[in-house]
Amino acid sequence: MGTVLVTGATGFVGPFVGAALRARGHRVRAALRRPTPTPGGADEAAVVGEIGPHTDWAGALEGVEAVVHLAARVHVMRERATDPLAAFRQVNALGTEALARQAAVQGVRRLVLVSTIKVNGEATGDTPFREDDPPAPADPYGVSKWEAEQALWRVCAETRLEGAVVRPPLVYGPGVGGNLRRLLRALAGGWPLPFGAIDNQRSLLGAWNLADLLALALAHPAAAGETFLAADGEDLSTPEILRRLGQALGRPARLVRVPPPILRLGGRLVGRGEELDRLCGSLRVDAGKASRMLGWTPPVSVDEGLARTARWYREADLSGRAAPV
């Protein structure tokens, strides 16, 4: 097995990806923005600086067989850039194209790009998202990731580089931040939560399962040139997610039934409209293509994944390492 370059190796998902690749016999090289100790899940590291159209990837790509591209400017709740789309595009679209072109020059066999379900859209109704749905990104982050996908396909069409794209929904696991981290904190504190009346369905993806699919997409011949959606295989409502997390924490969820329109209105009044929309709305994905084409089955169930996440938070909270974000 050859060396795999993992960008974003120090992020939340990076150690899971490194571990999955090493378990399959790969040597993992982490691409770092600045000199730091080699992150968990990696065998070695290479410093590349900030990611953008002018990043020099030559040293990091030397002797590399394949690339898993996790690094990105991610969606943020409180945007500070004066031109958010330009800021996202610089890293996510132009940065991806530069990496892909230099990888092709270096003779890299395959590049797997981690995109986002936001390329499909923000919410679903009765029908889950599929890979062949018309793209409908609704925010600068989603637009930039769609542009990153297109950039990868352009490079693949012009060179011998093989590409594959994975669009995950909400990814969770030990180390998770954002909404789920805040909900874990509230559950652990025994706080009442006003989500008991929400009737929605959300697809989730454990970090273990995403890492497993990325490692498979890196090696499977049928993955070249394809886009895959992924999920744990069981869609849950927001109240059910909270109940399962609470059970694993040993702190049963205290759910109050507040009508979703009131929750959404309250969210907008306090500047958390997007957050409440996600908690109240449905977003389901059909991961059947990965199963049919690659024979992929998520190795960890959503129930076990949520339990592992809750146990991590409980242990980290007791040791003082689970500071809220």
234-249: per-residue pLDDT in tens?
999 999 999 999 999 9
pLDDT the model gives residue 77: 52
Angle 102-107-112 from CA coordinates, rounded to 5°: 70
Q: Is the pLDDT of residue 158 over 60?
A: yes
Q: Is the pLDDT of residue 80 over 50?
A: yes
Sequence-distant (≥ 6) Cβ neighbours of residue 80 within 8 angstroms: none
Q: Is the pLDDT of residue 13 over 50?
A: yes
Q: Is the pLDDT of residue 321 over 60?
A: no
Question: What is the Cα 43 distance to its own chain's centre?
Answer: 22
How many structural domains compose the chain? 2
pLDDT the model gives residue 323: 43
Residue 192, class by beta-carbon neighbours within 10 Å (0-12 exposed, 13-18 middle, 19+ buried)? exposed
208 and 265 assigned to the same domain: no
Count of alpha carbons within 13 Å of 105, Cβ hemisphere only? 13
* Band of pLDDT at residue 126, cut at 50, 70 and 90: confident
Dihedral sign from CA coordinates of 219, 223, 226, 230: negative
Q: What is the CATH number of the domain that holds 51?
A: 3.40.50.720
Residue 160, class by beta-carbon neighbours within 10 Å (0-12 exposed, 13-18 middle, 19+ buried)? exposed
For the sheet with 64-69, list strands across it: 44-47, 27-32, 3-7, 64-69, 110-114, 162-167, 226-229
Q: Is the pLDDT of residue 81 over 80?
A: no
Asked if the structure places residue 52 within a domain, the reply is yes
138 and 197 assigned to the same domain: no
Give the chain's end-to-end CA distance (angstroms, integer): 38
Q: What is the mean pLDDT of residues 192-198?
A: 95
Count of alpha carbons within 13 Å of 305, Cβ hemisphere only? 25
Asked if the structure places residue 47 within a domain, the reply is yes
Asked if the structure places residue 295 within a domain, the reply is no
Asked if the structure places residue 225 within a domain, the reply is yes
Angle 314-320-323 from CA coordinates, rounded to 5°: 85
Asked if the structure places residue 288 within a domain, the reply is no
Q: What type of residue is 160?
A: R
* Band of pLDDT at residue 313, cut at 50, 70 and 90: very high
Q: What type of residue is 66?
A: A
Q: Which of 12, 57, 141, 313 is catalytic?
A: 141
| Owning domain of residue 251 | 177-202+234-283+300-318
Q: What is the mean pLDDT of residues 136-154?
A: 96
**Above pLDDT 70, what percent of the chain?**
95
* Band of pLDDT at residue 317, cut at 50, 70 and 90: low
Structural contact between residues 14 and 70, judged by C-beta atoms closer than 8 angstroms: yes
pLDDT the model gives residue 324: 40
Q: What is the dihedral of CA 178, 179, 180, 183, to 10 degrees?
A: 130
240 and 214 assigned to the same domain: no
120 and 23 assigned to the same domain: yes
57 and 142 assigned to the same domain: yes
Asked if the structure places residue 289 within a domain, the reply is no
Three-state secondary-structure class, residue 66: strand
313: annotated active-site residue: no
125 and 261 assigned to the same domain: no
Q: Model confidence over 47-67: pLDDT tens digits?
A: 999 999 999 999 999 999 999
Asked if the structure places residue 252 within a domain, the reply is yes
Q: What is the mean pLDDT of residues 295-306?
A: 96
Q: What type of residue is 88?
A: F
* Band of pLDDT at residue 266, cut at 50, 70 and 90: confident
102 and 197 assigned to the same domain: no
Asked if the structure places residue 324 within a domain, the reply is no
Q: Model confidence over 163-194: pLDDT tens digits?
A: 999 999 999 999 998 889 999 999 999 999 99
* Band of pLDDT at residue 325, cut at 50, 70 and 90: very low
